[in-house]
Amino acid sequence: MDGMDSPSAVVLAGGEGSRLRPLTRHRPKPLLPAATTPILEHVFDQLLEAGVTEITVVVGYGRNRVQAYFGPTYRNVPLTYVTQEQQLGSGHALLAAESEIEGTALVVNGDQIVEHGIISDVLEAHDRSSAATVGLLNRTDVASYGGVLVEDGSVTEIVENPEDERTYRFNAGVYAFEREIFDAIRDAEPRAGEQSLTDGITELLESDASVRGVVSEGLWVDSTYPWDLLDVSFDLFEAGIVDGTQAANVASSATIHERAVVREPVVIAPDCEIGAGAVVGPYACLGENVTVGSNAVVERSVVDADTRVGASATVMDCVTGVGVEIGNGTSIPGGPGDVRVGDRVFEDEDLGALLADRVIDRGGNTYVPGAIVGPEADIEAGATVRGTISEGTEVRS
């Protein structure tokens, strides 16, 4: 590796993830859970696996939350925080870190989880005679992200949301950059007031700089919408990034009644309590201090910290925020359902319900698949809950 022996990484973690509202109402997307661990923590883990020894984190929305959670080091690797004052695009975020970077910079997104092998491939392929190296995957869904055209290992074009029939590679959002990238971002024409990294790379290509592309294999996951947190968590189990066996991922401080059933894969965080006759899993992720009452069922769900699931409740295909109360006998039977977000409808999504932070459900309620309940809503007993319920609403039966 040319000068990349002890690589320094820049993690772009300044965005809110507005399409993940209402979960991002109180915290940024990089702190939302994948299984039970913040997305950003998984990002750091994969960087360390690839041999990274220092990390600069570009923070913005919710930056105090990020800094308070991680502090000055992560697993003995120093973290330097720089602030992107306004969220004006990925290129703008990288410019915020310019003064911290000497030599080659490895750049990744703080809200997408990329397996370490992809990162290692980029580091190994990068040669300092190139201005940039881009990590690529063979994936069919390039249209919704970014497509890259490659000839003989050189990138010829980057296209956002390509729609033609050319053979595109998927842009994994893992880059090695030399210092030329900073001027290239500044020289590129901003679009809609934003400076993007890909426009900076296009600027490099137009100035005849060498940009390499390396095709890898490995897990790449992103959550655009709240229900994607389910798929992301399940993908982490399938890829073995999260070990879902009881031996590995049931905390020693969790209390599980001898008549409860735990079905792998699961993650059960510290201080959880699971009552008699309850069934947890498969694909259940319980954050710290979650309580599951007797005879309740929790399956294919991501249940965040300090949430209580009442006795005999059924919770399927469900995402919760923190401090949610799901009352006794409430039924969330699971997807598929149609989810309404603003003026868009997503049909047949596997979402039983999304309950944002500190929702109180007083029991005996039934959720129509696709229901989204905003923070601090209060749902009286015996209601049928459907559609989108905004923050702080009281729902009467």
Q: For residue 279, give both structure tokens.
A: 């069934």
The answer to whether residue 32 is domain-embedded is yes
Indicate if 252 and 383 belong to the same structural domain: yes
Indicate if 202 and 269 belong to the same structural domain: no
Indicate if 111 and 254 belong to the same structural domain: no
Q: Indicate the DSSP class of residue 92.
A: H
Distance separating alpha carbons of residues 370 and 185, to the nearest angstrom:
40
Indicate if 197 and 309 belong to the same structural domain: no
Cite the beta strand spans of 330-389 per DSSP E: 331-332, 337-341, 344-349, 353-355, 360-361, 366-367, 371-373, 378-379, 384-385, 388-389
Instruction: Indicate the pLDDT class of residue 90, thresholds 50, 70 and 90.
Output: very high
**In the chain, % of residues over pLDDT 70:** 98
Give the residue numbers spanning the domain of 149.
8-222
Task: Give the position of tokens 């993908």.
Answer: 235
Distance separating alpha carbons of residues 84 and 8, to the nearest angstrom:
19
How many other CB atoms are found less than 10 A from the CB of residue 344?
9
Q: Which residues fall within 8 angstroms of residue 239, CB to CB, at 6 or more apart?
A: 115, 219
**Which pLDDT value is given to residue 5?**
61
What average pLDDT does this structure show over 90-118? Answer: 95
The answer to whether residue 235 is domain-embedded is no
Indicate if 195 and 278 belong to the same structural domain: no
The answer to whether residue 206 is domain-embedded is yes
Indicate if 73 and 145 belong to the same structural domain: yes
The answer to whether residue 146 is domain-embedded is yes
**Which pLDDT value is given to residue 3?**
42
The answer to whether residue 2 is domain-embedded is no
**Which pLDDT value is given to residue 143?**
80
Do 362 and 383 form a contact (C-beta atoms < 8 A)? Answer: no
What average pLDDT does this structure show over 139-167? Answer: 89
Distance separating alpha carbons of residues 109 and 10, to the nearest angstrom:
8
**Residue 46 sits in a domain of what CATH number?**
3.90.550.10
| Last-in-domain residue among 163, 187, 222 | 222
| pLDDT at residue 2 is higher than 60 | no
Indicate if 126 and 30 belong to the same structural domain: yes
Closest CA relative to residue 375, chosen from 27, 69, 38, 16: 27
**Residue 254 sits in a domain of what CATH number?**
2.160.10.10
Indicate if 346 and 211 belong to the same structural domain: no
Indicate if 81 and 163 belong to the same structural domain: yes
| pLDDT at residue 354 is higher than 50 | yes
Do 223 and 32 form a contact (C-beta atoms < 8 A)? Answer: yes
Q: Which residues fall within 8 angstroms of residue 183, CB to CB, at 6 or more apart?
A: none
Distance separating alpha carbons of residues 261 and 74, to the nearest angstrom:
35
**Which pLDDT value is given to residue 328?**
98
| pLDDT at residue 1 is higher than 60 | no
- In the chain, the number of structural domains is 2
Q: In 311-321, which positions are buried (b, 16+ CB within 10 angstroms) versus exposed (e)?
A: bbbbbbbbbbb
| Last-in-domain residue among 207, 222, 237 | 222
Long-range CB pairs of 196-202, under 8 A, 24+ apart, other chains included: 196/89, 196/90, 196/91, 197/89, 197/90, 197/91, 197/94, 197/107, 198/90, 198/146, 198/158, 198/160, 198/171, 199/91, 200/91, 200/94, 201/132, 201/134, 201/155, 201/158, 201/175, 202/157, 202/158
Indicate if 165 and 206 belong to the same structural domain: yes
Omega before 333 within 30 of 0, i.e. cis? no
Indicate if 253 and 179 belong to the same structural domain: no
The answer to whether residue 228 is domain-embedded is no
| pLDDT at residue 58 is higher than 70 | yes
| Last-in-domain residue among 222, 238, 257 | 222
Indicate if 258 and 208 belong to the same structural domain: no
The answer to whether residue 237 is domain-embedded is no
pLDDT in tens, 215-239: 999 999 999 999 999 999 999 999 9
The answer to whether residue 21 is domain-embedded is yes
Average pLDDT, the chain: 94
Instruction: Indicate the pLDDT class of residue 178, thresholds 50, 70 and 90.
Output: very high
